[in-house]
A = this chain, B = another copy of it.
Amino acid sequence: MTDPLTNLINTYHELNAAVVDELDEQPSALEFMRHVAKNRPFIVRWAIREWPACRKWDAAYLRQVMGREEVKVAITPLGNADAVVESKADGTLVFVEPHEIFEPFGQFLDSVQRSLSGTTLTGGHVKYAQTQNDNLRHEYANLSHDVPTDIPFARIALGQKADAINLWIGDDRSTTALHKDNYENIYCQIRGEKDFVLLSPVEMPCVNEQMMARGRYVPVPSAATATSTSDDGYKHDDRGVGELEAQLDTGAERVPVATWDPDEPEKRTTTWSHLAKPLRVTLREGDMLYLPCFWYHKVSQRVGDEGFVCAVNYWYDCSFEGESFASHGFVRDVYLAEQRRPEYPELKVGGETGGG
């Protein structure tokens, strides 16, 4: 008999398409609710082309509207915010959050754009505005009038307003490692492109979640005041950020983190990783993606004409009613039980194995 987890993943794939649905236009609330009911993603090409943001958000406009505002910026050595880092000391895996600073938006955008022109310092840090705390309606309130206050079909279908609207600005180097959120997510691409790799919640046994200590990138004290000159002679002090080092937060509770990477499918595998069928979709300027609750997603990106990537996403609370959430916990429980189960020989029916 096929093991239940294998059967689950295979059956899911037999019953569901191996591609992301592509809609011709934004769905009605009812059409959207059909996708929510199936918990299946879709993309709408050119859905947001009429948004003022799509016309207006070039670098000059952003600098004009936001230039002097202090914004929170995530800084990492390699663009790996909220990512798994191998500890130098003993090789254990740590879930590392970025170093965070506040700096004037104009200065932040300079750093991002400089990465395109190749003028970044060798070994220069990667900056990403990605606070995911409803930043568009707070830090970036000056820009909030250029996008809708809500996505009508989602608001009507889900019977609630957006819980958070997040602005994302970064460069090519930032990636978001495979993870999932407890939100219905409407993701809208304004500038540049994003490559999404998606895995359904039933593929949890494939992603090799491990309980992991938490850490954070912090500047190495001795270098904290270093300044340097980049190749083009531009004075660049990153506001005092020097070398970054991942430091363990020994007080923090451990968190489950996906360690399998669908782009390196032979590494850190589980028994079930080879059964995964990641959905891949590229979001281009003006496109909209519905990323359902609890779906694993990995995101990488390419800058647009002006050397930055910009997106806005709307988060709606997801429902824990019905079977879906309980079923995901069940998959996890069975997976964990399988991990713990000793490999006894299969019991033969009819006493063939003999008694003790």
Measured in the bound complex, the distance between the Cα atoms of B202 and A279 in whole Å is 28
Determine whether the beta carbon of A326 is less than 8 Å from that of B8: yes
Stretch of A11-19, A164-172, A253-261 with 4 or more beta carbons under 8 angstroms from chain B: A11-19
Measured in the bound complex, the distance between the Cα atoms of B345 and A342 in whole Å is 10
A322's nearest neighbour on chain B, judged by CB, is: B38
Copies of this chain in the oligomer: 2
Assess whether A24 is interfacial by the CB under 8 Å rule: no
Measured in the bound complex, the distance between the Cα atoms of B348 and A340 in whole Å is 10
- Bitwise interface map of A from 7 to 47 toward B, beta carbon under 8 Å scored 1, else 0: 11001100110000000000001100110111110000000
Stretch of A91-99, A124-132, A215-223, A327-335 with 4 or more beta carbons under 8 angstroms from chain B: A327-335
Residues in B whose Cβ lies below 8 Å from that of A201: 323
Smallest CB–CB gap between A14 and chain B, Å?
8
Residues in B whose Cβ lies below 8 Å from that of A12: 323, 326
Assess whether A325 is interfacial by the CB under 8 Å rule: yes
Q: Which one of B4, B30, B36, B329 lies within 8 Å of A330 (CB-CB)?
A: B4
Q: Indicate the size class of the contact surface on chain A.
A: 35 or more
A321 touching B15 in the complex, CB below 8 Å, given contacts A330-B4, A342-B344: yes
Assess whether A174 is interfacial by the CB under 8 Å rule: no
Assess whether A337 is interfacial by the CB under 8 Å rule: yes
Q: Which one of B30, B319, B330, B342 lies within 8 Å of A331 (CB-CB)?
A: B330
Measured in the bound complex, the distance between the Cα atoms of B321 and A5 in whole Å is 18
Residues in B whose Cβ lies below 8 Å from that of A7: 329-330, 333
* 11 chain-A/chain-B pairs, Cβ below 8 angstroms: A11-B330, A15-B322, A30-B33, A37-B37, A202-B323, A202-B327, A324-B324, A327-B327, A327-B330, A330-B330, A342-B347
The 9 closest A-B pairs by CB, nearest first: A38-B322, A37-B37, A4-B333, A8-B330, A33-B33, A12-B326, A11-B326, A342-B347, A327-B327
